[in-house]
Amino acid sequence: MWQLKLAGRVITTCIRTVAALYLGVRAGIAAERSIVAFHSRASRRIFLYQYKKLLRVPKRILLQIRDEMASHARRSLQGDKSSTMPMLPAYVDRLPTGSESGTFFALDLGGTNFRVRYVALEKGKDEIDTKSVQYKISKAIMTAPVEDLFDYMASKSVPFMRRFLDPKAGRPRIGFTFSFPMEQTGIASARLLRWTKGYSCPGGVGSDPVRLLKDAFARKGMEVDVPVLANDTVAVLAAGRYYHPDCRMGVILGTGTNAAYMERTARIARAELPSGTEEMAINTEWADFLGESLPTLPEDRGLDEASFNTGLQLYEKMISGMRLGEIVRRILVTLGRRGLLWGGDVPLELLVEHRIPTSLVSRLDDGRKVADARMVLTELGLNPGGCLSRNELQTVIEVCSLVGRRAARLSAAGMLAIMNLMGIDGSDGPVPDFTIAVDGGLFEKYASFRDNVGEALREVLGEEAAKRVALRHAGDGSGDGAAMLAAIAPA
Catalytic center residues? 197, 232
Integer distance in angstroms from the first to the last C-alpha of the chain? 123
Helices 232-243, 477-488: axis angle to 10 degrees equals 80
Question: 101 and 122 in contact (C-beta within 8 Å)?
Answer: yes
The dihedral region occupied by 361, where left means phi > 0, alpha psi between -120 and 50, and beta the remainder, is alpha
* Sign of the C-alpha dihedral computed for residues 369, 370, 375 and 377 taken in this order: positive
What is the helix, strand, coil percentage profile of the chain, to 5?
Answer: 50, 15, 35
The distance from CA 91 to its chain's CA centroid, rounded to whole angstroms, is 26
Give 15's contacts (C-beta < 8 A, 6+ positions apart): none
What DSSP designation does 351 have?
G
The strand pair at 247-253 and 257-264 is best described as antiparallel
Instruction: Give the integer Cα–Cα distance in Å for 452 and 404.
Output: 9
**Residue 200 burial class via C-beta count within 10 angstroms: exposed 0-12, middle 13-18, buried 19 and up:** middle
Q: At what angle do helices 358-367 and 390-422 cross, to 10 degrees?
A: 100
β-bridge partners, 119: 104, 130
Q: How does DSSP classify residue 440?
A: S
> At 127, which amino acid appears?
E
List, in order, residues 6 or more apart from 221 with CB less than 8 Å away: 158
Distance between CA atoms of residues 42 and 391, nearest Å:
11
Count of CB atoms situated within 10 Å of the CB of 128: 18
Would you say 214 and 229 are in contact if contact means Cβ atoms under 8 Å apart?
no
Cα gap 274→184, rounded to integer Å: 13
In angstroms, the CA 338 to CA 33 distance is 18
